[in-house]
Structure 1
Amino acid sequence: MEKQQVKTILKSVVIIAILLIIVFGLRAQSVDIGGVPNELKSHYVDENGLPYFSEMDSYFNYRMTENYMDHGYFGDTKVNGTGWDMHSYFPSGRAVGDYQPMIAYVTSFLYGIINMFQEMSLLEVAFWTGAIVSSLAVIPTYIFTRRITNDYGAIAASLIVVLGPNYISHTFAGFFDTDMFNITLPLFFILFFVEALKTDKLSYRIIFSLLAVASIALYSLSWTGYMFYVAVMVLVMIVFFVLCFYFNIEILEPFKNYGNKLEWLINQKELFATLIVLVVGLIGLLLAVGVGGIIEGITGLTGGFTLQAGAADVWPNVLISVAEMQIPNLVTGGLVGSFLANTGGVVNGVGGIVCLFGVLIVLYTFVQRLFRLNSVKVKGDTAKPHKSKRKATSVRTEQKRFSVSLKDIGSFGSTDEINKSKRHTVLYLSLFFVWIVSSAIAVTQGTRFIQVLVVPMGICAGIFVGYAVDYVKNNVDNDKVLLLIAVIASILIALPITQIAYGLDNAMTIGLVVLVILLAISAIVIYAKKSIKDSDVSIKKALVVVLITLALVSPTVCGAFQTTAATVPGSSDPMWFAMDYVKENSTNDTVIISWWDFGYLFQVASDHPTSFDGGSQTGDRAYWVGKSLTTSDYAQSKGILQMLATTGSNASMLLSEYTGSNVTAVHALDETLGKSRSEAQKILTSKYNLTNDQAKAVVKQSHPSNPNNVSFVLSSDMIGKAGWWSYFGSWNFDTLNSTNYQYYMANDYVPIKQNTQGNITILNESGIIYQAVVNRGKNGTNETTAQMETIWDNNRSKIDLNGTEYNPLKASNLICIENSYLTVNKTLNKDGNYTLYLLGSGDDYTAILMDNNLKDSVFTRLFLLGGIGQDTFELSNMQDGVSVWTLRDGSSNSDDAGSQ
């Protein structure tokens, strides 16, 4: 290896090391939980001062890793040789034998390495693992892009890809999920595969092909969607061969040039490399995930396009309520927002509109290059030049680098050079076109797939930077043009800084200062009398190319800074303390039931099983838990909870078998769960035509005689999620759709003295204020009254439409609770669809407006009103924003216990 090559490699190593420090440092910033006010931060860290995980899947991955390190397999036990998790989907539990184990393997490996030097708990290692592994994505991103463009482009691509909004928001410190692998391993796969297609040496071709197989095999242990990249590369090669044949590019030589077919096959480099990857890859995947894993991966490709379906079978599909499964906007934030990077839109997610513009230019240039190459002719001779005329190694190395520009066209010395350039052009055009289109299609199924799209888009944006840098170096000599480029780049650098909402107290000022400084430096350097030469590029051009690079990466870097600077843990002390209470004060048969979001945390913090969590979002649980919250029938809610905690889905499955219909089964259970056993049995025989034996068998499951204890957990976050749990709990099984119902809560208490009027803002949206106008009477009387009205935010005047008051949130009922006593419960307006709750403590009042369908719901009566007026549920523990309820014995559906 020549000295210049060593220098080039060392330079790349240094650049990669610096990039690793930058991207890891931004991810590590989340440990400061900057989105939490300083006075409250102590509530968001555990007893060791470590912030709680930022989302709930982290607790499941932590528990699986703990299982693996404790007894060598995932889950609590084994059923028929398969790992089985008894903490989830209780009482049946669920299989975790197909759990993607890479996160546990890597974390346990890091745990072993770190504890060789200092003591660190598994929880602490897990907290940092995502930030460490995801930062390593810099390596394949930089290498892959540097093989196409220059250092500037490779640096830009690395920052845009590895700090992409939808990637860093799932991989900062405290986010312990499989997303950490979603760029590193796929990019290694694509890097090695492309190198196998390009190399002229058979040994390298085999090595790179095997490395590609190893990368995708490892990825198959990391994410169920690994087959996406296999499908992408298969499509890439199909498009590649079609384009090559269309443009008459020689990729397959005649058989007659070789002694046998095997020799011919070995020398057809693209075809041979593809076959190696497919054949050896199939063997590797069989070893890694088995036949079932491969079939699941293939079916998952088509199954991914059903994520937005409203129903799974007849049951509602909870996945449509998950934020990252929502269909994204194209762009968010208007004109200024289009220049920013965030998770709000597709354009924002790939680095902003400037990056998108760069990607389109690169794709167009690839197409233009291909058509230009098709008509190029050989110039010069093909003889090897004399040693004295050969160029330096560094120059030859740069010439070997594929160029997306058109400047080399017409300077080829042989037909082989032209053909090679055509093949590489078609390869990259096929790769980026198929990759981007496939990723864009995936994005239609949810925002989480933007992190897949940002990889090819970010690399293309980096290529654009490299292309722009080369263009400026070689073609722009006019100082006015250089200054114009510098001014535009400086504005693009400063704009994202001015928009940082968290982490910088004076972002606007800082951004403007940065702009002024950059403009001043640009003017001074460009119009300096003497141009300081650095190699063959003047310092003024060096400044401009640096500004171009920063302009493309500024939105992404600023967006990443804001994401980790605004981090708020997914839980806090009240939730954890509530689970501590359950752990210490509940029997072993206690099952925790709540909406699914905190299920994984409940399992870790309480060491008790749950009925509903992030792993059971399809099937019957969403309906039954939603129903237990939405219904106004306490007996029915209790019956649902006891059934889920004790026999799970057995009653529903048995009824489906007897009636031949899931829908009929649900209707039967809806009607009987609030009834006694004897009443339920009579209804099943008389109305649903079950035999006595069948009815007894069903009731044995739906009305268990010795039910498990239940901890029913209600929390303040469920107020904002009411639209979803009411939607699923009110699911119409005949039409397979539903309606969601909402709570609107005032943010603050407003002082309102006796016999005075006060206004409580409940909602401020799109310049319109929805407020409760309260006329307070005397304490302990029924004189307090209130009504909803809408006013303009700018002038506080009432809103009239054609002479009619605009009041879409008109209240039909008023309920007032003053100092824990119900003082008012009356009808206001029969035309309204909402109920207004006033809650007064002393002279301070707040308000809750809710859809009438939630007025008497179990959630409203328990969580918002403290359980007044019922004796079915008993408050066992109360924390700030979290309440734990248990079921009282002896209520409606527990009679005739021996009837079964």
Structure 2
Amino acid sequence: MKKSELGKLILLLVSIIIPITIGLYVRFDDLRVWEKYKNQFYYEDRPLFTSYDAFFFARYGKEYLNGSYNAGERDPLRFVPDNYLTNNVTYPSPIPMESYFGAQLAKAGDTYIENVSLWLTPVLSVLFVIPLVFYFYRIGLPIAGFGGALLGVVSLLYLVRTSIARFDTDSLNLFFPFAIAFFLLRSFHSKGKLKYLDLAIAGILSQAYCWWYAHPGLMLVILFIYAAGLFFFDKRSSLKQKALYFLTVLIFSNPIFVFNGVFNIVGLVKVYLINYFKPDVSGGFPNVFMSISEAKHFDITKIAQLSTGNSVVFGIGFAGALLLFIKKFKETFLLLPIFLIGIMALKGGNRFAMYLSPFIGVGIGYFLDFLISYLRTKKDITHYKIYAVRLLSIFLLTGIFVYINKPSFAFVAKPKITPELERDFIKLESLTPENSWIWTWWDYGTAIEYLAGRAVFHDGQSQGSPKTYFVATSFSTSNPKVAHNVILGISNIGTKGINELLKEGKKPEEIRNLIFSGTFSKPVNNPIYWAFTGDEIGKFAWINYFGTWDFDLKKGIKSPIYQLSGCRSLRPQILVCSGLIIDLNKGEIIQNKRAISLKKLVIKNEKKLVEKDYHSKGLYLEIVEKNKKGFLFLMAEQPFKSMFNQMYILRNFDKKYFELVYDDFPTMVLYRVKSDSDNTNTNTNTNTNN
């Protein structure tokens, strides 16, 4: 091997090994904290998932292993009652690749899918380094490739989305596009059978990408860009040859996926770029995507911090990336689809910033490559000196990118569920009949499906329908009969019935009034249970916002329930909580020397509920005692009267409509929703956890 070739090989290996090593370290260093505080991060012998979608993929993997997964058939646990009213709620066909891999690895290791997820996502997440480095190495910009790889793996947003126990598709969502682009790039320079081999590999990777992510619209954009490149840049091939090249990629990509990509890309643009900025969707019902963190739009400073770690570096890198596409468009146009997805972070959901991070690093590296290319024109600069400068550039970028991304190294992935709640969800299986439907907020829908094997009305893959609005109304209303009518009404007509009413010309307000009045409140064959969980306290402001939606003003009441912490007794009847001084004698709260009136104090313990009135106007303070622990809550009047507060926090409910089944406050409180046939029987037994 020639010395020049050896130098290139060393440079290539260093460019790959450093980002992969640092990327794995910044993810697996969390295990030190996880093992030290195992009682917070594990339930018995399995780690807790760090994403909501992990439960979705894990459930399919679990059912695949036990033989209950029926591809293309009705999914009995998702989106009731619509999975019974329509033929549209089915198991994915084929099973998601993530679920399949997780199931096979869990089976091979005789362990839970959670234990597989602890290491699988971090390992997969750094693989994009390889095709990215190879791509830029091939076009003569090795430092740009290294910069993109390193900044990509240490980017805080990408780290958050590819942490340990994440078990989510983001772990390969950079690998596939960069790998496809690399083989398409090779095809422009290869000849004969090798060209068709490169095109076939690119097509197979495209098909695998669709199996992995189920968003064929992204593959469609890549193929469109490739076709444009063939037309404009391939001057040597005839039109017939170009058609054969494109046909090769198309066939190996699976034309069905390509066709479906048209509808998929329209849906993606509608959700993340158009509907996000609308307060209402679906015929006038409120847009739930306003409350979803990954769909939120951040300003450019926040995007810079999340994607790069530093606003100045972000600006320089972004300028470098734009300059690169201008100066080297023929060499980089295949990367445009990935870059454009990253650009969406500046207008759409912040999740797209993970696609932008590598290009900021590429832009910084491109300036160094440009400087090195200038040095190569000097007569006294040898190959050895050039490689030395390149290695020096690599170590310089390593130091800079690691330093500005210190928050990434300090970040510790945290579970989306507590050990206590996981325990209660597992117990939910024994608390409810097998054919039960669980009414709750959407975040833990997939967790209930996975851990309890029970059906839910909506989850993280189906929260965008009008059904979510009606679930919110049941939480926010002060009328137990209305809440009962909503649950039974939706259980009968589902989203299908709502859409039919919209087609008939009824306005959302009219549909709401019909459901509130009990027009559709017929008994259903499936037992229905209403589950309240502790996480909903922090989410209540948004739940209440949707539940109190004014269809004329296009907004609701975003009134939170504050859980006070660090409470201690300063002296008799004087409490200090969360920086507030609470005088229980006068009914006042002192905040920054300003007095705020209390209207009512409510004390709830194991045996009784006591109320004390203070002023005609003011806030409501609740002191709840459970298992010798005290919990304090502060809220306005409307949240105080809501079913969420009354039924969950105070366990104050109307026995005509609901039966308390399980009381493990604050982790989970579970009610059975009575049907008309048993409303007269109010003397039911209560199974509580004390």
TM-score category of the 2 structures, normalised to the smaller one: 0.7 to 0.9
Per-residue CA distance 1:406-443 (angstroms, 9 max, x = gap): xxxxxxxxxxxxxxxxxxx3314655677545531354
Aligned to 1:168, what secondary structure does the other structure show? helix
**In the alignment, is residue 852 of structure 1 matched against residue 634 of structure 2?**
no
Q: Give, as a single letter, the amino acid of the residue that structure 2 aligns with 1:464.
A: F
Once residues 866 and 299 of structure 1 are traced to their aligned partners in structure 2, the CA distance between those partners, rounded to angstroms, is 45
Q: Give, as a single letter, the amino acid of the residue that structure 1 aligns with 2:218.
A: F
Q: Give, as a single letter, the amino acid of the residue that structure 2 aligns with 1:826.
A: D
Contact 2:439/2:531, CA 8 A, preserved across alignment? yes
Number of the residue aligned with 1:348: 306
Matches within 5 A, 1:742-757: 742-754=560-572, 757=574
Contact 2:478/2:641, CA 8 A, preserved across alignment? yes
Once residues 149 and 457 of structure 1 are traced to their aligned partners in structure 2, the CA distance between those partners, rounded to angstroms, is 18
Aligned length, in residue pairs: 671
Once residues 61 and 842 of structure 1 are traced to their aligned partners in structure 2, the CA distance between those partners, rounded to angstroms, is 35
Once residues 739 and 142 of structure 1 are traced to their aligned partners in structure 2, the CA distance between those partners, rounded to angstroms, is 50
Cα distance, 1:739 vs structure 2: 2.9
**In the alignment, is residue 58 of structure 1 matched against residue 54 of structure 2?**
yes
Q: Give, as a single letter, the amino acid of the residue that structure 1 aligns with 2:298.
A: P
Contact 2:285/2:469, CA 8 A, preserved across alignment? yes
Number of the residue aligned with 1:666: 512
Match of 1:142 among 133, 136, 139: 133
Contact 1:590/1:708, CA 8 A, preserved across alignment? yes
Number of the residue aligned with 2:613: 826
Match of 2:591 among 768, 790, 795: 790
**In the alignment, is residue 722 of structure 1 matched against residue 540 of structure 2?**
yes
Matches within 5 A, 1:226-625: 226-228=216-218, 230-231=220-221, 234=224, 252=235, 264-265=238-239, 272=242, 275-276=243-244, 278-287=246-255, 289=257, 291=259, 293-304=260-271, 305-308=273-276, 309-313=278-282, 314-332=284-302, 345-360=303-318, 362-363=320-321, 366=324, 425-428=328-331, 430=333, 436-437=339-340, 439-441=342-344, 443-467=346-370, 535-536=384-385, 545=393, 547-555=395-403, 558-563=406-411, 566-625=412-471
Cα distance, 1:710 vs structure 2: 2.6
Q: Give, as a single letter, the amino acid of the residue that structure 2 aligns with 1:169.
A: V
Contact 1:646/1:704, CA 8 A, preserved across alignment? yes
Q: Give, as a single letter, the amino acid of the residue that structure 2 aligns with 1:42.
A: N
Contact 1:217/1:281, CA 8 A, preserved across alignment? no
Contact 2:54/2:167, CA 8 A, preserved across alignment? yes
Contact 2:296/2:348, CA 8 A, preserved across alignment? yes
Q: Give, as a single letter, the amino acid of the residue that structure 1 aligns with 2:12.
A: S
Q: Give, as a single letter, the amino acid of the residue that structure 2 aligns with 1:45.
A: Y
CA 1:468–1:597 in structure 2 vs 1: closer, same or farther (change >3 Å)?
farther
Match of 2:582 among 774, 795, 820: 774
Q: Give, as a single letter, the amino acid of the residue that structure 2 aligns with 1:560.
A: S
Number of the residue aligned with 1:815: 601
**In the alignment, is residue 873 of structure 1 matched against residue 674 of structure 2?**
no
CA 1:103–1:276 in structure 2 vs 1: closer, same or farther (change >3 Å)?
farther
**In the alignment, is residue 632 of structure 1 matched against residue 600 of structure 2?**
no
Aligned to 1:668, what secondary structure does the other structure show? helix
For structure 1, the residue ranges without an aligned partner over 5 or more in a row are 76-81, 245-250, 254-262, 333-344, 371-424, 478-532, 674-698, 763-770, 777-783, 792-797, 799-804
Deviates more, 1:217-226 or 1:851-860: 217-226
Q: Give, as a single letter, the amino acid of the residue that structure 1 aligns with 2:264.
A: G
Aligned to 2:529, what secondary structure does the other structure show? strand
Contact 1:362/1:464, CA 8 A, preserved across alignment? yes
Number of the residue aligned with 1:88: 78
Contact 1:330/1:346, CA 8 A, preserved across alignment? yes
Contact 2:50/2:416, CA 8 A, preserved across alignment? yes
CA 1:43–1:276 in structure 2 vs 1: closer, same or farther (change >3 Å)?
same
Per-residue CA distance 1:682-713 (angstroms, 9 max, x = gap): xxxxxxxxxxxxxxxxx5xx223355323322
Q: Give, as a single letter, the amino acid of the residue that structure 1 aligns with 2:27.
A: R
Cα distance, 1:854 vs structure 2: 0.9
Q: Give, as a single letter, the amino acid of the residue that structure 2 aligns with 1:790.
A: Q
Cα distance, 1:605 vs structure 2: 1.2
Per-residue CA distance 1:578-629 (angstroms, 9 max, x = gap): 1233212322232222111111111111111112211221223211211111
**In the alignment, is residue 741 of structure 1 matched against residue 587 of structure 2?**
no
Number of the residue aligned with 2:647: 862
Cα distance, 1:466 vs structure 2: 3.8
Match of 1:47 among 33, 44, 48: 44
Number of the residue aligned with 2:622: 837
CA 1:592–1:365 in structure 2 vs 1: closer, same or farther (change >3 Å)?
closer
**In the alignment, is residue 169 of structure 1 matched against residue 127 of structure 2?**
no
Once residues 672 and 190 of structure 2 are traced to their aligned partners in structure 1, the CA distance between those partners, rounded to angstroms, is 73
CA 1:315–1:843 in structure 2 vs 1: closer, same or farther (change >3 Å)?
closer
Aligned to 1:884, what secondary structure does the other structure show? strand
Paired-residue identity, %: 18
Number of the residue aligned with 1:12: 12
Contact 1:785/1:814, CA 8 A, preserved across alignment? no
Cα distance, 1:235 vs structure 2: 5.1
For structure 2, the residue ranges without an aligned partner over 5 or more in a row are 84-88, 682-690
Cα distance, 1:302 vs structure 2: 3.5
CA 1:581–1:14 in structure 2 vs 1: closer, same or farther (change >3 Å)?
same
Contact 1:157/1:463, CA 8 A, preserved across alignment? no
Cα distance, 1:151 vs structure 2: 5.1
Contact 1:646/1:708, CA 8 A, preserved across alignment? no
Aligned to 2:550, what secondary structure does the other structure show? coil
Contact 1:574/1:881, CA 8 A, preserved across alignment? no
Once residues 666 and 348 of structure 1 are traced to their aligned partners in structure 2, the CA distance between those partners, rounded to angstroms, is 40
Once residues 652 and 574 of structure 1 are traced to their aligned partners in structure 2, the CA distance between those partners, rounded to angstroms, is 36
Number of the residue aligned with 2:686: none
CA 1:788–1:708 in structure 2 vs 1: closer, same or farther (change >3 Å)?
same
CA 1:891–1:26 in structure 2 vs 1: closer, same or farther (change >3 Å)?
same
Once residues 84 and 842 of structure 1 are traced to their aligned partners in structure 2, the CA distance between those partners, rounded to angstroms, is 42
Aligned to 1:721, what secondary structure does the other structure show? helix
Once residues 838 and 586 of structure 1 are traced to their aligned partners in structure 2, the CA distance between those partners, rounded to angstroms, is 30
CA 1:289–1:535 in structure 2 vs 1: closer, same or farther (change >3 Å)?
closer
Number of the residue aligned with 2:684: none
Once residues 660 and 33 of structure 1 are traced to their aligned partners in structure 2, the CA distance between those partners, rounded to angstroms, is 55
CA 1:568–1:47 in structure 2 vs 1: closer, same or farther (change >3 Å)?
same
Contact 2:79/2:462, CA 8 A, preserved across alignment? yes
Contact 2:155/2:354, CA 8 A, preserved across alignment? yes
Deviates more, 1:450-459 or 1:17-26: 17-26
Once residues 549 and 210 of structure 2 are traced to their aligned partners in structure 1, the CA distance between those partners, rounded to angstroms, is 36
Per-residue CA distance 1:425-474 (angstroms, 9 max, x = gap): 33146556775455313542201111122233333333334445666898
**In the alignment, is residue 182 of structure 1 matched against residue 173 of structure 2?**
yes
Once residues 238 and 626 of structure 2 are traced to their aligned partners in structure 1, the CA distance between those partners, rounded to angstroms, is 87
Number of the residue aligned with 2:578: 761
Contact 2:433/2:527, CA 8 A, preserved across alignment? yes
Once residues 626 and 663 of structure 2 are traced to their aligned partners in structure 1, the CA distance between those partners, rounded to angstroms, is 19
Deviates more, 1:186-195 or 1:12-21: 12-21
**TM-score, normalised to structure 2's length?**
0.85
**In the alignment, is residue 214 of structure 1 matched against residue 240 of structure 2?**
no
Q: Give, as a single letter, the amino acid of the residue that structure 2 aligns with 1:23.
A: G
